[in-house]
Structure 1
């Protein structure tokens, strides 16, 4: 085996970059599959890397370190999150209901499938205790959570965790796009959509913004290039954060050998501490949030591509029957949520919020936005603004569950974590249901926009 070096990294990054460019060209030029499914270039790159890489055809000589890249890249994403996430804010009625719906969907998916993993999959298929959580890890978690939880579990001996997590995220993304297209077209035919679109925006379908005036800025410069390039400063802060987190983890492990804290979790903590210090010394705006988000987005693209390319087919094949049932049950769960609960939480204007919720419950917020644009191309429904405010209260759940999940497995609390998650979902629903916070229930199968009991 070739010795690992800087040139190994260059070769791996070079190959995966080429595959992402190919994926982007395919999305831009080919309607069938690529434009029809709004297939993201990193997923195409990952699938090509898996097919052409050493685990299948062997035409591309990737190193054995692809899994290590995902562990590092997810730490970059979480470190970036600490500097770019919004703090504080107000929550109106719409955002309040979005919080209730989102948190119930999220904790319910985690709780139900962890419990099913223990009560159904383990006795039936002899799967490990953590198997059930691979559904929410890949579906509502997405590729970032798959990398975070998978790498943490592999660190304590769960060798197939990353492969199963990335497989789940890939299946979830495809389900999100296909299901979003089907649900969107159904909503339009039924007259449920407030702002009826003629067709998908060209830049969304082809993945390319051709009009120069429509191209958004990646961020704002906070330094003069004569001192330091702004992008260098931002990347440097994020790299320093991850390095500091790594050093703290090494120190903890040297003192307490049995204590293991995921690098991404420590990176988040260190980033928040750095941000607090910057606020105290009057450097609150030293980093630009949009630029940090762009760095995070780039890391996420490489994370997805490397993660899918690093899937070990043999590990997935060993669980194929259990995985098939897991994905079927997961999709049924998300369909049930799409077709029942949005009408309760959001009333007669439920379809846009339901389709957006479907997108992130099976994949990511970015995918949710993509399928939302099928029924709300100009984003006039207020769905995203409500979600943005709701995320102030929902975000801590999402981040905490990603951090707690591997720790629960490590310390034998998997069942407790599952039941607590499921209990939180039930309590949220009951509180909203019986305290008058839900509007009149929207009609689901009846033509047009209206609520139960209306004359429409």
Structure 2
């Protein structure tokens, strides 16, 4: 494959991303669903590719589009390889440029938020693995690794699902990544639709403390545009362009963070090979762990080094978010464009069962446990975790922004603190990365037992410690905010 073919494939991705944005601006029902332009573009590319247009052309006896749709096989090969590369960029940028909160304030706000987040993350493994061992394996001859797809697709989202493709294929679970991508799409749509419905229910029933009246978003918000008089800077200039372009500096920092993660992963694989691993080993873990969770760790290490050296001010988190957003947009687009609909079709019943169970579980946790665990602004804070557990962090942020448009509650702050602990574990963290290899090596039951214990501890601690002392916890939060 030539450099020209790779470059042209990237140019076409950019064209489709722009078309997706135009559709978001022009089509009303797409706006009301708050669908990201990358997903719109990805679905459009999927329809024009070999899975839909190519299949229809083949049935009609026309060979012109049957192989790759309107694209070329080389273009699809490039797109298929992109998610596994871009996911490391997404995770490396998560904590770069972030301020470390005071321990007292973080601990006060993060406790109940972590209980809820860990209950959602571990609980999806519990219900997913139970569905797998009780229904999918005995009745549909599915792989027990299906039980991990709920957390990968719903909590991890499109990026994590696409990033796990290589691991799943290496372990013989070829349909896993496509099913996880399908679940991520279902989760994202359901997260927005059900999330808006829950907010309307919360307003009508008086459960929201800030939002009163009908839930409406402005036309510009629905289109995903800023008004002419709005000014939201993309980031701050931390270096003089005469020495180095600030964006170039931040890209270089991301590259170093990924390299640190790569060194750590290679070291872990070497230790594993020298101890219990090797060709005849019955169990190997780090051989199948992807790079992206270690890239996240590399970013944390680099941020701590920068802070220790007094150079943290040179790393702007807003610019890191722009780099992350660029990588995520192209990741989602390329992943959806190369999605295998045949994999979903051949596993349609298990796919539907997992999706229904996952949605029901997330709604139940939010409605039943969030008000009993979070002491203040439970709806405003809990809806963010609900949205994140249904697809991507952006879904949770959208729902929080609707319930708390002026950031009057500690919802965004508490959510951010929770992410510092939550992201390295679930939603693409170490547990997510290790789940498929663990199930492959040991079967579903060890992971099921471990996640059941974590789920019980999360719910128990939330109800017993935070829920039982909601008044004291609320007063503690108010006291911390006042200082």
- TM-score (normalised: structure 2): 0.83
Q: CA deviation at 1:298?
A: 1.1
Which of 306, 320, 324 is 2:348 aligned to?
Answer: 320
Could you say which residue in structure 2 is the equivalent of 1:163? 178
Q: 1:392 to 1:438 in 2, by over 3 A?
A: farther
153 and 413 in structure 1: CA distance in 2 versus 1, 3 angstrom threshold: same
Q: What is the number of residues matched between the two proteins?
A: 436
Q: Which residue of 2 aligns with 1:219?
A: 235
Instruction: Name which of 93, 115, 135 aligns with 2:130.
Output: 115
Report the counterpart of residue 219 of structure 2 in structure 1. Answer: 202
**Equivalent residues of 1:138, 1:145 under 8 A apart:** yes
Contact 1:347–1:440 (Cα < 8 Å) also in 2: yes
Q: Structure 2 residue aligned with 1:48, among 25, 34, 44?
A: 44
With over 3 angstroms needed to count, the CA separation of the structure-2 counterparts of 1:312 and 1:406, relative to structure 1, is: same
Alpha-carbon spacing, 1:185–1:129, altered in 2? closer, same or farther (3 Å): same
Bigger drift between 319-328 and 116-125 goes to 116-125
1:141 to 142, 146, 156: 156
Instruction: Say yes or no: does 1:24 pair with 2:29.
Output: no
Q: Is the 8 A contact 2:136 2:350 kept in 1?
A: yes
- The answer to whether the aligner puts 1:288 opposite 2:316 as a matched pair is yes
Alignment match, 1:425: 455
Q: Is the 8 A contact 1:149 1:405 kept in 2?
A: no
Q: Is the 8 A contact 1:103 1:397 kept in 2?
A: no
Question: Is 1:59 paired with 2:70?
Answer: yes
Change over 3 Å in CA distance of 1:200–1:384 after alignment to 2: same
Q: 1:385 to 1:266 in 2, by over 3 A?
A: closer
Q: Which of the residues 79, 96, 116 maps onto 2:92? A: 79
CA distance in 2, matches of 1:141, 1:152: 15
Q: Are 2:190 and 1:175 equivalent residues in the alignment?
A: yes
Partner SS for 1:146: helix
Say yes or no: does 1:332 pair with 2:367. Answer: no
- Point out the more displaced range, 153-162 or 288-297: 153-162
Report the Cα distance in structure 1 between the residues aligned to 2:245 and 2:179, rounded to whole angstroms: 40
Cα distance, 1:318 vs structure 2: 1.2
Quick one: distance in 2 between partners of 1:207 and 1:297? 14
1:301 aligns with 2:329: yes
Partner Cα distance (1:411, 1:404) in 2: 11
Q: Secondary structure at the match of 1:81?
A: coil
Distance 1:279 1:352 in 2: 32
Deviation at 1:265, TM superposition (A): 3.0
- Residues 288 and 372 of structure 1, relative CA distance in 2, 3 Å threshold: closer
Matched, 1:228 2:244: yes
CA distance in 1, matches of 2:260, 2:109: 40
Match of 2:406 in 1: 378
Say which is worse superposed, 186-195 or 14-23, in terms of deviation.
186-195
Partner secondary structure for residue 397 of structure 1: coil
Offset of 1:72 from its aligned partner?
A: 0.2
* 1:36 maps to which of 32, 35, 44: 32
Contact 2:257 2:295 in 1 (8 A): yes
Q: 1:386 to 1:261 in 2, by over 3 A?
A: closer
Is the 1:197–1:375 Cα contact (8 Å) retained in structure 2?
Answer: no
1:374 Cα deviation after fit: 3.2
- The match for 1:96 is 111
Residues 192-249 of structure 1: CA deviation (Å, up to 9, x unaligned): 332225521333211000224x231121122211111111111122234435655776
For 1:102 and 1:265, the matched residues in 2 are separated by 18
Which residue in 2 is equivalent to 1:449? none
Q: Give the equivalent residue in structure 2 for 1:400.
A: 430
**Residue in 1 that maps onto 2:59:** none
Aligned to 1:444: none
Aligned-pair CA distance for 1:92? 5.2
139, 143, 152: which is aligned to 1:124? 139
Cα distance per residue 1:15-65 (max 9 Å; x no partner): 22222211111211221x211111111110110111111222112333223
What is the rounded CA distance, in whole Å, between the counterparts of 2:420 and 2:132 in structure 1?
30
Aligned equivalents of 1:280, 1:328: Cα separation in 2: 47
Q: Contact 2:131/2:354 (CA < 8 Å) preserved in 1?
A: no
Which residue does the alignment assign to 1:447? none
Q: How far apart are the structure 2 equivalents of 1:437 and 1:252?
A: 40
Structure 2: unaligned runs, 5 residues or longer: 54-68, 280-286, 472-483
Select between 396-405 and 96-105 the one with higher mean Cα deviation. 396-405
User: Residues 240 and 112 of structure 1: is their aligned pair in 2 closer, same or farther, counting only changes over 3 Å?
Assistant: same
Q: 170-179 vs 132-141, which deviates more? A: 132-141
